[in-house]
Amino acid sequence: MAIFIDNSTKVVVQGLTGQQGSFHSLRNRDYGTAIVAGVTPGKGGQKIEGIPIFDTVSEAAVETGANVAVSYVPARFAPDGILEAADAAVGLVVCITEGIPANDMARVYKHLKRSDSTSLIGPNCPGLISPGKSNVGIIPGEICIPGPVGLVSRSGTLTYQVMHELTTMGIGQSTCVGIGGDPIVGTSFIDCLERFEQDPETKLVALIGEIGGDEEEKAADFINANMETPVVAYIAGFTAPPGKRMGHAGAIVSGSKGTAQAKAEAFEAAGVRVGKNSTEVAELVKDALASIG
């Protein structure tokens, strides 16, 4: 098994006719992902490398059975694109787009929570991959191998780094999810932790957090109360100065809140070992897996 995506995933790409959409989608198709359709209003009836283009997500879903949508469209159009996919009853939307205003995402988030039939990963995220099964987004498949470690991260770059460290050690992954670093995202750490806890193929979870907000503290409370699956964590931003945004829109320390130290202490109090860098995280994962047997 895997979480969110697997061999049954059929992907419709919003923005397939654009440069980024076509590059990553064709690469993911080469990986083995079923890219069944693209959507660009006004270009319905065309094809990109044999993939049919539709004017709407609804048409694409009806004609191809697409159950996942991924968006590469510009920030001004992305919120409506997410809502269009949700209205077409697509079960999962992955939004790679960055720079979407928080007010727009608040509107989208409320709509999705009311309907509760479509999950959103992102925005401003690298997507997700279930190695050997499906790849939706911009994660390079060549740095992954199938295995027992689930990975969830706010940072795309650190997702890649930890995945590479694990793969170099011969430790494979069940699913790797980049949830995005914006203040408002569709899927939280807890959403992913719940799914990993229920996945029989995931024997351990690696969680990569960063400064800003309190999502890591919430995740620590959830782990302490609800998880039997071991978790190893890494928090980026121990040297970040207060009041300055570091990389992501959500990565800002305000006063004593949102610091890397506070997050690390919350995890350690929940019995989660915290690595100081990506290499140490991989070593902690290796040790934990050995102790599981």
Query: Confidence class of residue 211 from pLDDT cuts 50, 70 and 90?
Result: confident
Cα separation, 112 vs 123, in Å, equals 14
Mean pLDDT, the chain, whole residue set: 92
Whether cis (ω within 30° of 0) applies to the bond prior to 230 is: no
Kindly state the average pLDDT of the residues 69-81: 97
Give the tens place of pLDDT for each residue, 100-142: 999 999 999 999 998 889 999 999 999 999 999 999 999 999 9
SS3 129: strand
3-state secondary structure 39-93: ECCCCCCCEECCEEEECCHHHHHHHHCCCEEEECCCCCCHHHHHHHHHHCCCCEE
Q: Is 164 known to be catalytic?
A: no
Computed over its alpha carbons, how large is the radius of gyration of the chain?
19
Q: For residue 80, how many other CB atoms are within 10 A of its CB?
A: 13
* Residue 191 in this model has a pLDDT that exceeds 70: yes
CATH 3.40.50.720 fits 10-121, yes or no: yes
Strand 92-95 and strand 68-71: the pairing is parallel
Q: Which CATH superfamily includes the segment(s) 140-292?
A: Succinyl-CoA synthetase domains (3.40.50.261)
Residue whose C-alpha is closest to residue 80's, from 95, 65, 67, 68: 95
On the question of a common fold for 10-121 and 140-292, the answer reads: yes
Residue 141, CB-side half-sphere exposure with 13 Å CA sphere = 19
> pLDDT tens for residues 247-273?
544 444 444 457 888 899 999 999 999
Residue 61 is predicted with a pLDDT of 98
> Higher model confidence: residue 264 or residue 10?
10
Helix (H, G, I), strand (E, B) or coil at 264: helix
Q: Residue 203: is its pLDDT beyond 60?
A: yes
Please tell me the distance from the alpha carbon of residue 8 to that of residue 30, in angstroms, as a whole number.
16
Say if pTM beats, i.e. exceeds, 0.85.
Answer: yes
Residue 150 has pLDDT above 90, yes or no: yes
pLDDT given at position 237: 60
User: What does the alpha-carbon distance between residue 44 and residue 93 come to, in Å, rounded to a whole number?
Assistant: 21
Provide the token pair at 30: 């080469």
What is the domain partition of the chain in residue ranges? 10-121, 140-292
pLDDT the model gives residue 257: 54
